[in-house]
Structures are given as C-alpha cells and as structure tokens.
A and B are shown apart, each in its own frame.
Chain A
Amino acid sequence: MPNTTPKVMLPADFANAPISIVRRSVNALVTVAAVGAVALVVLPLAAVFGYLIYKGIGSINLAFLTQIPKPPGEAGGGMANAIAGSVYILLIASFFGVPLGIGAGIYLSEYGRGTRFGNLIRFTADVLNGVPSIIVGIVAYGLVVLSQGHFSALAGGVALAIMMVPTITRTTEEMLLLVPQIVREAAYGLGVSRWRTTLSITLRTATSGVITGVMLAFARVAGETAPLLFTAFGNQYWNWKMNQPTAALSLQIFTYAISPFDEWHKQAWAGALILIILIVASVGAVRLVASRGMLKGAN
C-alpha cells in the first residue's frame, strides 16, 4: 500500500529527464547547418575582398591615379578621369538629391505624421526604393539626354539623385522621429516659430543620424553602374562640362572587365579596389560619426 501512489514529477525532474536521442541529434544537426550557412556566406565576402586586395594593390600606382586611359592593348595609363568623373557625378547627384530627400523627410516626420498624404508619400518612397536602377537610367535618358541631345554628366547625376531621394527621405524621417516631442514643445514655449524649431532644434538634434542616412545613400549610389550606362555614358578623356559625356569609375570597371585585354583586366581590379575603399571609408566614417552623435542613446 505505501508505494502505490503515483510519483509526483517536480519541475526539477523535467529538467533532468533525458531528451530523446533523435531530438538531440536534430538539434545538433541544425546548429551545424546554421554554422555552415554562416561559413558559406562569409566565404564569398572574404573571397571578394581577398581578390580585390590581391589583384588590385599590384596595379595601383601613380600613373593609375594621375593618367587617363591609354588606347586598347597599350600598357600604362590610368583612371584619373574616371575617379574625378565619379566624384563629379556624385556631387551633382547630391546637389539635387540631398535637399529633396531631407525636405521630404522633414515633411513626413513634422507635418505628415498619420495624414493620408504623408502615408502616400512614405509608401511611394518605399516603392521607389525597389525600382531597379536600370529603369532609373531609362528615365534619366528620356528626361535629360533626349532634351540635351547627348549623353552628359548632368543626366548621370539626375539618375543617381533619383536613387538617393527615397533612402534619404526615409532615414531622415526615422531620425527626426527619434527626437522627443518635448524638445519641440520647449522651443515653442520660448516663442520660437515652427520652421525655426524644425531647422534649428529638431533637425539640429538629429544631425548625425541624418548625415548617416545621406552617407548611406551616397555609398549606395557610388558604385551604381546600370543607370550611368546611357546617361553619363563614359569618356576616355577629361571632362568637366555638365552637358558632355563623362567617365565614371564603375563604368570604366565594367568596360575593362569585359574587354579582352589583360592590361585592362588589371586596371579593372585596381579601379574596383579604389571604388570599394571609397565606399567602405564613407560607411565607416558614418559609423564613427553616428556612434559619437547625440542619437547614440536613442538608437
């Protein structure tokens, strides 16, 4: 009689109860598979960077950075005009894209919160973000190249500006929303007008975050090639005119990579290394600025 009462299991007993071998091995297998997936994803990254450095460093020299391309097959020459052209086109793009993007972001966070029009713009910006870059190229071609009559730096800049706007809009909005409402109210309480509050208080507080967004957009379009193919078009020589075809680093890499010349292949690697250094440097600088900024705590 004494031993017939069923044994009461305590939580501790569950913890110590053996888990079936099948369940344990499935668990282990999945862990191994996940680690394997990580390895398979990190591998190409390491391979891309490794090759870039390995192939690129050997081909970067003073001539590469200061000279313009030599005719096909001839040794020497460089991509100086393409590097400058990329910077030129990016400056044009930023000139149009940054103010528009920040303005739209201000509208969304300061005026358009919860309104139907605000939601429409937010949605449209997200849609625009997903438009393939080659399509943006077609549009810039129709808008600028056709009306000017030839390929131009301006057309390339407009194409890249169109791609920058949605990214900057959305990050600016997000960053402004992080600024506490109380800060705005404090300014209103002092009698500061709304526009002045927005610019000198709200935007100022979120500066580092907004800059982060701008730089991310910049980095994103810096390596774009497809929208430049039939807008900036490329150029073997120097050009500083807005309405003339202009070389760009990414275009030059593309042209050289698919060419049959070994010398050009080497230069393509060197160009790619320069391009990636530009991009990583701008993203890295952003991380540095952002981590020191006022928004660190809010993030």
Chain B
Amino acid sequence: MQSLITAGDSRRADAIFFYAMVACGLSVLAIVFLIVYELVTKSNLSWHAFGLKFFFRSEWDPVNDQYGALPFVYGTIVSSILALIIAVPLAIGVAVYITEMSPRWLRGALAFTTELLAAIPSVIYGLWAIFVLVPLLRQYLEPWLAKYLGWTGLFEGTPYGIGMLAAGIILAIMVVPIISSITREVMTAVPQQQREAVLALGATRWEMIRTGVLRNARAGIMGGVILGLGRALGETMAVTMVIGNRPEIAKSLFAPGYTMASVIANEFSEATGDLYLSALVEVGLALFIVTIIVNILAQFLVWTVTRGTPARGNA
C-alpha cells in the first residue's frame, strides 16, 4: 500500500490524468465531428450539381456523369420495411416467451442463443443466404407466393431467388435479436406488482401479458423496433450479396433492387470521376443523417420506459 501513496506533486499528476481522460472523452466527439466533416465536404460537388433533386432522380449513369439516388432510397426503405414486417412479430413473440413463459432453465439458453444470432458477422449471413436461402426461395417459397398471392402484384415475374424479398428476409433474421433483446429489457423493467395485480383480477396469462406488461412497455418496444430499423437501413454486406444490385424500381418483390449502403459498397473503390465519388458520399451522408435520427428517436423511447430501473435487466 505504501507504494500507492505518492508524496510529491500528486496534485499535478492528478491534473495530468484528468486532462488525459478528458482528451479520450473528447475523441468520441472528435470522431463524430470528423464523420460529419468528411461526409459534408466530400459530397459538396454532387450537392452543387444536383441539389435536392438528387434524391428524386432515378437515373444512375456513371458514363454520362448523371446521378440520382431514388432507386437506392427506394430499395433501402422497401427492404427495411419488409424486414420489420417479418421480424417484429417474431421478435416480440420470442421476448414474450423468454420473459413470461419459458421455464427458468430454458431462459438463459434462449437469451444466449438470440445473443449469438447478433454476433454472427453480416458477411456470413450473406454467404448463407446466397447458397441456402436463395435456392430455397427460388424453388419453393417464390413459386408458392406467385401462385397464391400473385394477384397482389407484389409477387410476380421470374422467381430468381435473388432480389428484394431475399434481402428483406435476411435483414429480418439479422434484426430479430436487436428488437427482441430491447423488448426483453423493457418488459423486465415493468414492475412485478403490475403482473400480480392483473393476475389477481382473474386474468389469463395472455391477458396479463397484454394489459399488464406489453401496454406498459409499448414505448420501449417501439424504441426497439426503431433501433432494428436503424440497423436494417445501414446493413450492407448481407444485403449486397442477395439483393441483385440493379438500380431499378419495381413493384414486385421478386425483382432485383439496390440499397444506399450496397451502392457505396460496390462502387466506391471503383468510382473514377470526382462527381461519381461525390455522389456516392452524398448517398452516404443521407444514410448517416437518417440512421442518426432513427437511433436518437429509438434511444429516447427506450429511455422513457427503462429510466429509474437498473441499467441491466436480469432476464
């Protein structure tokens, strides 16, 4: 212990240490500042050439230096929404099962399993999707959808397997763990007395979950869903590998598409002209702004439910 007690100028050492830690804290701010600075300055050229119309033009023609981001915006939104439509019911179901229904011994294992889903890298999901999911879609799911739901116009054309539907499904698999872990967290934050009170009134288990738990946790669950949306919007590799990478807007989900993140991934290192590169960075800037807004909104919603409870749930 003696060695810990420094006699000399510990005050100066304290000050140095303090400023070193402040510098580390500042680095976080600096990183975000650098991101904004890089994106804004590097997209300037494209912004001046096309203005706001950039996001409403559907022409993407590097040869003639004409750029419009509409197909990418469309692809990003459609694939993300498709993912949420598939993922949200599943994720909430899983969360409800783990927190309210599962036997205690299974709880930890299931929670760990969903955690594991989140730890698998995007590129491995993409690999699996190319060689397993896409053939399954091509042979079974897509012909079936075309036969029974073809009249909606959403499921028509040649079932390639690769396309918007495949991207939506793989995104759904990837966002389920995020939504379900947040949902679990906010459901755990609902006080136990709520459940007991509703049960004491004679509710069945489902009625208890619906009125006692889900209703109290809905803002937080919404936050989890939006956080999942944020992840889906920015997800790159798996989508790039299965969406087909064609800048076209088609009604059918069987058709290939393109997303904002994918076009950057595919074309950035090969972009030759200054305007071409600038247009890609502008796509990145738009993606950055949207994901930031979405994430802030999500964090606010989760915070409204979990504030006042310990940061870590134990479910």
Contact = CB atoms under 8 A, between A and B. Distances in A.
A131 B288 contact: yes
Contacts of B31: 128, 162, 165
Contact of B28 (A40, A169, A254): A169
Nearest to A252: B123
Q: How large is the interface on B (under 10, 10 to 19, 20 to 34, 35 or more residues)?
A: 35 or more
22 contacts: A27-B206, A37-B94, A42-B113, A45-B113, A45-B117, A100-B24, A101-B24, A103-B25, A111-B22, A127-B295, A130-B230, A130-B291, A132-B291, A134-B284, A135-B287, A139-B34, A190-B5, A192-B4, A198-B17, A223-B124, A226-B261, A257-B241
Contacts of A104: 21, 24-25, 27-28
B126 A257 contact: yes
B4 to A, nearest CB: 5
A111 B18 contact: yes
Closest 8 pairs (CB-CB, A-B): A223-B121, A132-B234, A103-B24, A37-B93, A195-B17, A130-B295, A193-B10, A107-B25
Interface in B124-142: 124-128, 130-132
B113 A33 contact: no
B82 interface: no
Nearest to B271: A230
Main secondary structure of the interface of B (DSSP, over half): helix
A45 B132 CA distance: 13
A16 to B, nearest CB: 11
Contact of B20 (A27, A36, A103, A169): A103
A99 B39 CA distance: 26
B211 interface: no
B264 interface: yes
Given A126-B295, A129-B295, 20 more contacts: A27-B204, A27-B207, A31-B101, A37-B93, A130-B292, A134-B234, A135-B39, A139-B34, A166-B28, A190-B5, A191-B5, A193-B11, A193-B13, A194-B17, A198-B17, A225-B122, A225-B237, A230-B269, A250-B123, A257-B241
Nearest to B312: A299
A223 B120 contact: yes
B52 interface: no
Contacts, number: 271
Contacts of A17: 202
B25 A138 contact: no
Contacts of A37: 89-94, 97
Contacts of B250: none
Contact of A131 (B90, B110, B235, B292): B292
A1 B266 CA distance: 90
B176 interface: yes
Contacts of B63: none
Interface in B224-256: 227, 230-231, 233-237, 241
Nearest to A287: B112
B149 interface: no
A26 interface: yes
A124 B30 CA distance: 10
B35 interface: yes
A24 interface: yes
Interface of B: 1, 4-6, 10-11, 13-14, 16-18, 20-29, 31-32, 34-35, 38-39, 42, 89-94, 96-98, 101, 110, 113-114, 116-117, 119-128, 130-132, 173, 176, 180, 202, 204-207, 209, 227, 230-231, 233-237, 241, 261, 264-265, 268-269, 281, 284, 287-288, 291-292, 294-296, 299, 311-312
Residue of B121, B236, B237 contacting most chain A CB atoms (<10 Å): B121
Contacts of A250: 121, 123
B206 A132 contact: no
Interface stretch (A59-67, A75-83, A236-244, A264-272): A264-272
A69 B269 CA distance: 22
B206 A196 contact: no
Contact of A107 (B22, B173, B207, B312): B22
A143 B97 contact: no
A201 to B, nearest CB: 8
A121 interface: yes
Of listed B20, B26, B96, B124, residue having the most chain A CB within 10 A:
B124
B17 to A, nearest CB: 3
B206 A142 contact: no
A131 B123 contact: no
Contacts of B296: 127
A19 B28 contact: no
A233 interface: yes
Nearest to B34: A139
A269 B29 CA distance: 39
A51 B132 contact: yes
Contacts of A30: 96, 206, 209
A190 B4 contact: yes
Contacts of A125: 28
A229 B268 contact: yes
Given A132-B261, A135-B39, A138-B39, A52 B124 contact: yes
B268 to A, nearest CB: 5
Given A48-B125, A132-B233, A135-B284, A19 B132 contact: no
Nearest to A166: B28
